[in-house]
Amino acid sequence: MKLFAAILIGCLSVFNTPRLQAQQRTMSQLVPQEASYSLVFRNVNELKERGDEFAVEMGYPNNISMLFSLVGSQLQARGAADDNLPCGIMWFEPQLIGEPEVKQGWKKPVAVGIAISDTKVLARSLEVDHDELVAGKLFEKDHSALGHKQRYYRMVGQYLWAVSHEKLYDFLKTAKPLATVIPRSRLAEIDAADCLLSLSAKTPELERDTAEEEAEKWISRHKDLDADEEDAIRNMFSILHEASHAVVTARVDRGLEFSFNIFFGQDAPPEVRQRILKLSPPAEGVSLAGLPSGDLLFGLSARTDASQIHPALTATVREGRGFWWWGWRQMLDQNFVSQFEQLKLLGLFGEIWPLTNRYNVGIYQEENAAAHGLISMASILETDRPDVLMSELQNLAAIVDRTAIGSVDDDADREKIQALILELIKQLGEDDFQQRQSATTRLVLLGEPALPLVIDAKLNTDAEVARRATQIEKMIREELAEKQAAALKSSVLANAKPVFIFHPDAEKRVGTSIDVMEVRINESSKMQGLLPVLVGAEWSRIRLVKFEKHVAVFFGSNLERLDEMIRNVQAMERGEDVSVPETPYGTPLLNVRGVECQGSVSRILRLIKHKRLTETEPDGQNDPELSSISVALEPDFFTIEWRLSLPDLKAIKKIGF
C-alpha cells in the first residue's frame, strides 16, 4: 500500500487539465482529447467515505483517507481544495507544445487540475500574493517532479492548474474535452464512476505498426489457422486500430465495479462499422429472462448470431490451449478434466453455437439437498431450427460415447464407421467454415479409429483438407499419449466413459412432450457416487423440450424448476414478458450487451462446505451477492463491465488470490 501511495503521490504532483474553463464539472470534461494518459477522480470526499468503509471491511482501515491527505500535501493544496469537484492528472505528447520527444512516458509534459474552495489558504501554502493568485498570475516554483525541473501554477476560474511546461497553458485553452468523443449512451455511466483512467490510441507507441502488420505478426506466431479464422483476426485488429481512446473507470460501492471501454470516434470510416457488424449485428441485449427463479450460483447469457464470433473464438482459445480460468485450472490439478478434454468440450460447444441465436444457462443451489441434490442446471437455447438442433444433439451424443455408432471389431460396423470418417474428411474442404469446423470436431471425438484415414488425408490435394488432417492427427496422438502417460490416474471425466441413449417423447409435463437423454457411466467411476449427491436421484436423465423457436435443457432433480422454465418459454413464444431471475446485486451493468455472466465465489465455497445460503458466516455475511461481467460491442464503442461483490472479494482474499 505504501508503494502504491508513493506512485500515486508522484503522479498527482504533475496533474493535468483540459480546457481551462471555470465550471467544468465532470471527469470527461476535465480531460482533453489530446492527453496521452490521464487519471481523474470525480469526488474525493465520497471516495474517501465509501473507500474507508470498504477498506475496513477488507481489513485495511483508513488507507484511502490517508492516501488523499498525502496527495493534498504534495500538491501544496491541503485544506484549500474543493474535494467535491473532479481533479486529475494528464500527460501529453511533447510535440504538441514544440518540445523534443522523450523515451520515458512518465517524463512527458504533464498538468494537474484541482478545484479550489479557499484561495487564501492556497496562497499561504504556495507563499504567493493572494490578489495576484486570484487574478490569474503565473507562478514558477523550483520543484523537481517526475523528471521535470520546474512546476508552474495558475488559477483559472475555480481551478488551480499545476503544469510542467508553461506552454501547456496555451495549448489547454483550445483543447477539446474527452466528453465529445464518448457516445451519449455511455457518457453518464462513465462520469458517475469514482475515477477514470484514459489512454489515447493515437500515441506514437500505439501507432508504431499498422493494423495489417500487427495482424500478420499475430497470425505468423499462431500456426494452423483456418482461412476464416485468419480473416476474423485481421478484422479484429482493423477494428482495434480505429480506436480513438480507451477509458477505464472504477467505483467503490460494497464491492468494486470496473469498466473497460474502447471508443471508435465519430469519424470512423463506414467500413469499420461493417466489420463491427460481423462480430455484433444489431439486436437486443441478452438477459437471463426465461430461466426459473431461485438461488443462482452461476448465470450466463450470450448472443451467438454474429458471423465471425465462432472463428474468432476458435482461433484465440485453441491457440491458448483451452480455458485457463482459475476454477478450470483447479479441475485440471485435481485431474477432473484433462487438457485434451478441454479442447473436445470446446469443440462440442462450437457444434451447438452456429445453430442458435442466443442462449442462457443457470446453475442453481438446491435447498433440499436430500431430495434434489446440491445443484441443478437449466438452459434455454433460442434457435430458428429446433428440429436440426435436437438432431445434432443426438448425433453428437452418439459420437461422444462411440458405442452408438458401432464397434470397429464388427465387420458391418467397421464399414459404417469408415464411411462416416471418409465423409467427415471430405467435409474438411467445404467452403463453409462451420462445416469444416464441425467435421474437425467429430473426427477428433472419434479418435483412434479415425487415425489411419486421417493420416492418409494429409496427402490430399486439397490444401485445407491436408492442413486440417495434420492438425487432427496431432490432437488424436496427443490424446493417446496423454492416456498412456496417465493410464493409472486417468481423469474423472475420461474414466466415466459416458454412454448417451436418446428416448423421444419419454415424458409429459405442463402439457408438453419431453425427450430424455439417458446417461450411463462406468460403474467403477468416481462419478457414479458423485452425481447422485451433486444432482440428486434424477442425475441420469437430461431433459430436452422442443418449442417453435427454442430448445430448453434441464439437468437436475427439482422438476418444479423445469415446469417453471417450460411455462416461461411458452410465454416468450406468445410474445409475453417473462421475469428475469433476481440476482442479489441488482440489475445488469449494461442495457445492451452481447454476453453477460453472473456468479458467486462465496456461494460456491458455501456449497463445497455444505452450507446453506441462509447460514451465517463468521464475518456476518448472509445471502452473498453475485459478481458479474458483461460485454458489449456497438458501432461506436466496445465495453467490458466487471463487478466484484464484497463477499466475493473477501472469499478471494481468504483463499489467497
- Round the CA-based radius of gyration of the chain to a whole number and report it: 29
3-class DSSP state for residue 303?
strand
Q: Looking at residue 624, what is its pLDDT? A: 57
Helices (H), 135-203: 168-174, 184-191
Residue 158 lies in a domain: yes
Parent domain of 117: 2-193
CA 382 to chain centre: 22
- 1, with CB counted inside 10 A (0-12, 13-18, 19+), is exposed
Q: Looking at residue 400, what is its pLDDT? A: 65
Residue 146 lies in a domain: yes
Q: Looking at residue 462, what is its pLDDT? A: 92
Query: Would you put residue 510 in left (φ > 0), alpha (ψ -120 to 50) or beta?
Result: left
Residues of the chain with pLDDT under 70: 1-24, 61-77, 105-106, 143-147, 204-208, 265-268, 317-351, 353, 399-411, 482-498, 523-527, 582-592, 608-624, 655-657
Residue 612 lies in a domain: no
312-316 long-range contacts, CB within 8 A, separation 24+: 312/229, 312/232, 312/233, 312/235, 312/236, 312/279, 313/350, 314/226, 314/229, 314/346, 314/350, 314/437, 315/222, 315/225, 315/226, 315/229, 315/230, 315/232, 315/233
Task: Tell me which residue of 291, 253, 301 sits closest to 590, measured CA to CA.
Answer: 301
Contact 233, 255 (CB under 8 A): no
Q: Looking at residue 336, what is its pLDDT? A: 39
Residue 157 lies in a domain: yes
Residue 530: CB partners within 8 Å, gap ≥ 6?
A: none
Task: Tell me which residue of 1, 642, 596, 653 sits closest to 299, measured CA to CA.
Answer: 596
Task: Tell me which residue of 362, 384, 393 sits closest to 562, measured CA to CA.
Answer: 362
- Per-residue model confidence as pLDDT tens digits over 616-644: 555 444 555 778 888 888 888 888 888 88
Q: Looking at residue 10, what is its pLDDT? A: 39
Question: Three-class SS string for 411-476?
Answer: HHHHHHHHHHHHHHHHHCCCCCHHHHHHHHHHHHHHCHHHHHHHHHHCCCCCHHHHHHHHHHHHHH
Residue 436 lies in a domain: no
Residues in the chain: 657
Q: Looking at residue 482, what is its pLDDT? A: 63
Q: Looking at residue 65, what is its pLDDT? A: 58
Cell digits of residue 176: 477539446
Tell me the C-alpha distance between 455 and 452, whole Å: 5
Residue 246 lies in a domain: no
Task: Tell me which residue of 188, 164, 210 sits closest to 259, measured CA to CA.
Answer: 188
- Per-residue model confidence as pLDDT tens digits over 299-338: 888 888 877 777 877 777 655 544 334 444 443 444 434 4
Cell digits of residue 21: 474553463
Q: Looking at residue 319, what is its pLDDT? A: 55
Residue 92 lies in a domain: yes
Residue 541 lies in a domain: no
Phi, psi of 441 (to 5 degrees): -60, -45
Residue 301: CB partners within 8 Å, gap ≥ 6?
A: 286, 287, 288, 358, 359, 360, 361, 595, 596, 597
CA dihedral 126, 132, 138, 144 (to 10 degrees): -10
Tell me the C-alpha distance between 335 and 486, whole Å: 10
Phi, psi of 226 (to 5 degrees): -75, 155
Query: What's the structural domain count of the chain?
Result: 1
